[in-house]
Amino acid sequence: AQSVSQHNHHVILSEAASLELGCNYSYGGTVNLFWYVQYPGQHLQLLLKYFSGDPLVKGIKGFEAEFIKSKFSFNLRKPSVQWSDTAEYFCAVNRRSGGSYIPTFGRGTSLIVHP
Amino acid sequence: KAGVTQTPRYLIKTRGQQVTLSCSPISGHRSVSWYQQTPGQGLQFLFEYFSETQRNKGNFPGRFSGRQFSNSRSEMNVSTLELGDSALYLCASSQGQGSPYEQYFGPGTRLTVT
């Protein structure tokens, strides 16, 4: 079945450590890629997105993600995490279906950053 | 600008009942999407409405339905509730339909079916 996989369900880091969260999808056609974040007690919000062009995209709060088409991956990275990055992170793929897009989310990665 | 609002925030129903959830999008947004979030399945897309018409639909049974009004407000209805329908239901609005428009999520309605 077509899906979005986030390999790390729980990640625990210390402040200043580097972060990489994996995301793979299984759709072969046209896709748009997203990372969303949900901070404790807050709504889901967009972190960054990729539609076309430069496969390295930069988002808010120092996050970036790289689209590697050959690997069907869109991994999220941050060189130095902060305690305030503690949150749930969701990768999402919009795949083209007819004249519209169908969104599919990964199951999320819970990140805890220790001060 | 006010964000996406959802009412009610919490709801407890019994099996076999039906429920209606409401979503008010950000002013000026014409697209409303609904998602079901559970610990086991994550976020799953239910459907999207744009200009009062359902544009996309996820893989959910016909017990799940929705509609959108001329002011872009949307309602979601679940009939003949089952225990497995217990979940957080999220609404998201955007200016246009689907990609590339950014979605803005509401706080969700927590539905518990007993």
Contacts of residue B52, Cβ cutoff 8 Å, sequence gap at least 6: B67, B68, B69, B70
Cβ–Cβ under 8 Å, residues B7 and B22: yes
- Region B3-7 average pLDDT: 96
- Region A91-97 average pLDDT: 86
- What's the pLDDT score for residue A1? 56
Contact residues on chain B for A44, CB-CB shorter than 8 A:
90, 92, 105
Q: Select from B3, B45, B102 the Cβ nearest to the Cβ of A103.
A: B45
Cβ separation A102–B107 shorter than 8 A: no
- CA distance to A41, A103, A104, B41, per residue, from A3 (Å): 27, 10, 7, 12
Q: Is the pLDDT of residue B25 over 90?
A: yes
Contact residues on chain A for B94, CB-CB shorter than 8 A:
none
Tens digit of each residue's pLDDT (9 = 90 or more) over A16-72: 999 999 999 998 888 889 999 999 989 999 999 998 899 999 999 999 999 999 999
Nearest C-alpha in A relative to B43: A105
**CA angle, corner B16, sides to B53 and B72, nearest 5?**
20
- Does residue B56 sit at the A interface (CB-CB below 8 Å)? yes
Tens digit of each residue's pLDDT (9 = 90 or more) over B59-105: 999 999 999 999 999 999 999 999 999 999 999 999 887 666 788 99
